Chains A and B, each alone.
Chain A
Amino acid sequence: MSDNKNEYVLKMENINKTFPGVKALSGARLELKYGEVLALCGENGAGKSTLMQILAGVFPPDKESGEIVYQGKPVQFKTPNEAKKAGIIMVYQELSLVKDLSVAENIFLGSLPMKGKHVDWKTLNQTTQKALDELGSPIRAQQIVSSMPIAYQQMVEIARGIALGAKVLILDEPTSSLTEKEKNSLFKIIRLLKSRGIGIIYISHKMDEIFEISDRVLVLRDGQPTGNFVTSEITLDDVIKSMIGRTLDNYYPKCQAKAGKEVLRVEKLTLSGIYKDVSFSIREREVVGFYGLVGAGRTEIMETLFGIRKPDSGDIYINGEKSRIASSLDALKNNMGFVTENRRGQGLVVDKSCLENVSLAMLPWIKKYGMVDNKKCLELYNEYHDKLRISSPGPEQRVGFLSGGNQQKVVIAKWLALNPKLLILDEPTRGIDVGSKAEIHKLIAQLAESGVAVIVISSEMPEIMGISNRIYTIAQGQITGEFSGLEITEENMMRAITITDSRKEA
């Protein structure tokens, strides 16, 4: 490698950015060496994205800012394309591939190798395959992107960055939709790129990943750098402290109440091809965790409980009575609430105000002479605004403008307004900042203690272990284990979510 390992590939100094009414960044700085993984942390709204967008040329910094030095030269990219050409590649959470084209076409989009007036398919596919093989990926160059899982699509996106000659690769929450195994292969690629001298900026909320993969950690809070650590010299608490300016004692509060009578029982629920013979129960004042890999059928089971999907067979008992739930309205009438995994797609109406979102599911119950009772809606909003500490400029604020954590609180408020007896939360803390995460964990414990039965689905093992009183493990559409108390150990759960195949053989 010609690049000196101890030289900086990128230096950003004293970066300021003011948006109308908000100072997004003040005095932010960032240094990245060749072949280094720098983790960028901070709560949502701390300025991580803004800093990265300035680097990638999406918008310029304020005039009184310092310099951006890239490969020894001061630069100021005016468009994302300029930055890309110079070798600064950003891989966003929402992937930007053309889904109907092949992997090879995507990687060389805009610069396809030509033979006269025609595309030179042979060279194209061969070059691509070589690049993919070098990354150790099993992807074939001619595969159509839309036919591949998200993890592979992400690999393609990274491969495209490499093909473009990336010197700096920015990964924004790259593991948010990956399974454990996929995450490991991503990390393998990151290590490979590192050894080739590529500087990597890794944005994530997941602390265990940051400690696993990064060399240094840069923490932003309210647009200012509050921590710049060498990863091996610090602990989780150091990072969290500088992110939120306080220590989070009792990171995972658990519901301490004694479970009451049964609220829901499911027997032999089956939906062919998705899940099979699912039986479980939950009582009031209890937090029950569902742990399993993405795609194990967790969400689908909950969607069935909520009337979104129809099971082929099996029974659902609510308060001991056999019930039929054919739509979400039936679920609502049975005092159930469902905080979905896909917040923007299924949880919120992002174009509408906080007020409207909070009262969305409640409307039929708070009408007066057939009209919506606006006063009651506002009361509801104010009540939950205070209770959940939703930080929003006002009830009329469009939900789409809020940070992820606050959006999630609005979704939760929508369901709490109904006074649910059973609340299902599917990945309730995905993509939200540490502060809001802790608040949501606390809220779950409080809810359960107040008598609600709470079901939580999560892919994060520490989270599910920390907050659940009882845990069901799911693998390939089947419940493979039930753990409570001291049985809840990482080892037990890991084993339970990987055993289906052997069990079937037995």
Chain B
Amino acid sequence: MRAINKMGVFLKNQVIVLAMCMIFILFSLLSSSFCQFNNAMLILRQVATFGVMGCGMTLVIIGGNFDLSVGSLVSLCCVVCVGLVNVLGPLPAMLIVLAVGAVSGLVSGFLVGYLKLNSMIVTLGMMSVLQALTLIVSNGKYIPLRRVSWFTALGQGSIGVLPISTIIMVVVIVVFATALKRTVFGHHVLAVGSNAETCRYSGINDKRVILETFVLSGISAAIGAILLASRDGAAQNNMGMGFEFDVITGVILGGTNLMGGSGNVYKTFVGMLIVAILKNGFVVIGLPYYSQWIAQCFIMIVAVWCANRAIQRKGEIE
């Protein structure tokens, strides 16, 4: 009896993994070209950027905020990255891109954490600012990668069968997951997201914790952008357009509490995989491009609805 109960709890906790498997099987039945090795590798390459970005977004949402600027930040970072790789070489370029991400997060984080402005509004504003900066930096032009270097290997190369970008993503996920679960900072994020007031009375600098989540979100978007620029070997103004939507969908599917206070980086990754599988699957079964947007929005709403029901049920027990 106890074993069955435990099993039930386990299944309930892993319901998102089950959902992913079911979606995978569904697409496999719908199209014979879906469940192929090459397609699986393609999904893994596609998910790398989102998997990395989801780490930062998970922290921001656990802290009780949203970061809508990550899509535009990816565009800006891609443009800066490719432009600078052409001039300075990969390593300096990448460091500068990471700094760009951190500074962008610092600005949002300061406005949200210290000035207590609503994060939706702040990051919506940042979204426009970053989009404008992208256009200024790129002059509105498509920027191809001119120098051949190891840079392209990040997004295109493999070690054995595993894409390098996937390996980088896994490393980032493990680092973020450990940071959240095991470090003092992670515990502080979870506590501030639940009750910032109590934290303020308990020697925790809640403002700074919020700022740090945004900085990490900016950095993770920058890493995502590096992988994306490397994979495409070029940069465009609108490369990250709509990414914030995909990333937030993935985080919600991963079960992070939209009101803050709880969440899990590994589950966010599963959520991202679901989004990637769906996007890939829609293409494979030949769903028109714009219908995919509608379908994805529908999925996000279902995810939010499920999350709400879960929260309500918790409330009933109390």
Q: List residues of chain A with CB within 8 A of the CB of B200.
A: 308, 328, 346
Q: List residues of chain B with CB within 8 A of the CB of A329.
A: 203-205
Q: List residues of chain B with CB within 8 A of the CB of A338.
A: 201
Q: Which residues of B contact A (CB under 8 A)?
A: 182-184, 186-188, 190-191, 194-195, 197-205, 261-262, 318
Q: List residues of chain A with CB within 8 A of the CB of B190.
A: 352, 356
Would B203 and A345 count as touching, CB distance under 8 A?
no
At the interface, yes or no: A361 with Cβ under 8 Å from chain B? yes
Q: Which residue of B lies closest to A331 (CB)?
A: B203
Q: List residues of chain B with CB within 8 A of the CB of A347.
A: 198, 201
Would A360 and B202 count as touching, CB distance under 8 A?
yes
Q: Which residue of B lies closest to A400 (CB)?
A: B318
Q: Which one of A9-17, A139-147, A212-220, A365-373 is at the interface?
A: A365-373
Q: Which residues of A contact B (CB under 8 A)?
A: 306, 308, 327-329, 331-332, 338, 340, 345-352, 356, 360-361, 363-364, 367, 370-372, 400-401, 414
Would B197 and A361 count as touching, CB distance under 8 A?
no
Looking at the assembled complex, report how far the CB atom of A217 sits from the nearest CB atom of chain B, in whole angstroms.
Answer: 30
When A and B form their complex, which 8 residue pairs have the shortest distance between CB atoms, in order from nearest? A332-B203, A361-B202, A329-B203, A363-B184, A349-B194, A349-B195, A371-B182, A351-B194
Looking at the assembled complex, report how far the CB atom of B171 sits from the nearest CB atom of chain A, in whole angstroms.
Answer: 18
Would A361 and B203 count as touching, CB distance under 8 A?
yes
Looking at the assembled complex, report how far the CB atom of A496 sits from the nearest CB atom of chain B, in whole angstroms.
Answer: 29
Would B183 and A348 count as touching, CB distance under 8 A?
no
- In the bound assembly, the distance between CA atoms of A363 and B204 in angstroms comes to 10
Q: Which residue of B lies closest to A303 (CB)?
A: B201
- In the bound assembly, the distance between CA atoms of A306 and B204 in angstroms comes to 12
Within 8 Å by CB of B182, from A308, A350, A372, lies A372
Would A360 and B191 count as touching, CB distance under 8 A?
yes
Q: List residues of chain A with CB within 8 A of the CB of B205.
A: 327, 329
Q: List residues of chain A with CB within 8 A of the CB of B183.
A: 367, 370-372
- In the bound assembly, the distance between CA atoms of A318 and B203 in angstroms comes to 18
Q: List 23 A-B contacts (CB under 8 A).
A: A306-B201, A308-B201, A327-B205, A328-B200, A329-B204, A329-B205, A338-B201, A340-B201, A345-B195, A345-B197, A345-B198, A347-B201, A349-B199, A351-B262, A352-B194, A356-B190, A356-B191, A360-B198, A370-B183, A370-B184, A372-B187, A401-B318, A414-B202
- In the bound assembly, the distance between CA atoms of A349 and B204 in angstroms comes to 13
Would A363 and B188 count as touching, CB distance under 8 A?
yes
Looking at the assembled complex, report how far the CB atom of B259 sits from the nearest CB atom of chain A, in whole angstroms.
Answer: 10
Scoring B199, B200, B202 by chain A CB atoms within 10 A of each residue's CB, the highest score goes to: B202
- In the bound assembly, the distance between CA atoms of A371 and B184 in angstroms comes to 6
Would B187 and A328 count as touching, CB distance under 8 A?
no
Looking at the assembled complex, report how far the CB atom of A346 sits from the nearest CB atom of chain B, in whole angstroms.
Answer: 5
Secondary structure at the B interface, as helix, strand, loop or mixed, is: helix
Would A352 and B191 count as touching, CB distance under 8 A?
yes
Q: List residues of chain A with CB within 8 A of the CB of B195.
A: 345, 348-351
Looking at the assembled complex, report how far the CB atom of A288 sits from the nearest CB atom of chain B, in whole angstroms.
Answer: 20
Looking at the assembled complex, report how far the CB atom of A333 sits from the nearest CB atom of chain B, in whole angstroms.
Answer: 8
- In the bound assembly, the distance between CA atoms of A331 and B205 in angstroms comes to 12
Q: List residues of chain A with CB within 8 A of the CB of B198.
A: 345-349, 360
Q: Which residue of B lies closest to A374 (CB)?
A: B182
- In the bound assembly, the distance between CA atoms of A429 and B81 in angstroms comes to 60
Given known pairs A306-B201, A328-B200, A414-B202, the reply for A364 and B187 (CB within 8 Å) is: no
Looking at the assembled complex, report how far the CB atom of A375 sits from the nearest CB atom of chain B, in whole angstroms.
Answer: 13
Taking A346-B197, A360-B187 as known contacts, 13 extra A-B pairs with beta carbons closer than 8 A to each other, sorted by chain A number, are A306-B201, A308-B200, A327-B203, A328-B204, A338-B201, A347-B201, A348-B198, A349-B199, A352-B191, A352-B194, A361-B202, A367-B184, A372-B184
- In the bound assembly, the distance between CA atoms of A349 and B186 in angstroms comes to 15
Looking at the assembled complex, report how far the CB atom of A384 sits from the nearest CB atom of chain B, in whole angstroms.
Answer: 15
- In the bound assembly, the distance between CA atoms of A393 and B111 in angstroms comes to 42
Looking at the assembled complex, report how far the CB atom of A63 sits from the nearest CB atom of chain B, in whole angstroms.
Answer: 21
- In the bound assembly, the distance between CA atoms of A400 and B198 in angstroms comes to 14
Looking at the assembled complex, report how far the CB atom of B263 sits from the nearest CB atom of chain A, in whole angstroms.
Answer: 12
Looking at the assembled complex, report how far the CB atom of A124 sits from the nearest CB atom of chain B, in whole angstroms.
Answer: 35
Q: Which residue of B lies closest to A342 (CB)?
A: B197
Q: List residues of chain A with CB within 8 A of the CB of B202.
A: 328, 332, 360-361, 414
- In the bound assembly, the distance between CA atoms of A331 and B203 in angstroms comes to 8
- In the bound assembly, the distance between CA atoms of A246 and B187 in angstroms comes to 42
Looking at the assembled complex, report how far the CB atom of B196 sits from the nearest CB atom of chain A, in whole angstroms.
Answer: 10
- In the bound assembly, the distance between CA atoms of A328 and B197 in angstroms comes to 11
Scoring A308, A328, A370, A401 by chain B CB atoms within 10 A of each residue's CB, the highest score goes to: A328
Looking at the assembled complex, report how far the CB atom of A22 sits from the nearest CB atom of chain B, in whole angstroms.
Answer: 13
Q: List residues of chain B with CB within 8 A of the CB of A414.
A: 202
Looking at the assembled complex, report how far the CB atom of A62 sits from the nearest CB atom of chain B, in whole angstroms.
Answer: 19
- In the bound assembly, the distance between CA atoms of A364 and B182 in angstroms comes to 12
- In the bound assembly, the distance between CA atoms of A93 and B203 in angstroms comes to 30
- In the bound assembly, the distance between CA atoms of A350 and B205 in angstroms comes to 19
Looking at the assembled complex, report how far the CB atom of A93 sits from the nearest CB atom of chain B, in whole angstroms.
Answer: 16
- In the bound assembly, the distance between CA atoms of A217 and B254 in angstroms comes to 52
- In the bound assembly, the distance between CA atoms of A361 and B191 in angstroms comes to 11
Q: List residues of chain B with CB within 8 A of the CB of A327.
A: 203, 205
- In the bound assembly, the distance between CA atoms of A350 and B198 in angstroms comes to 10
Scoring B187, B194, B198, B205 by chain A CB atoms within 10 A of each residue's CB, the highest score goes to: B198
Q: List residues of chain B with CB within 8 A of the CB of A363.
A: 184, 187-188
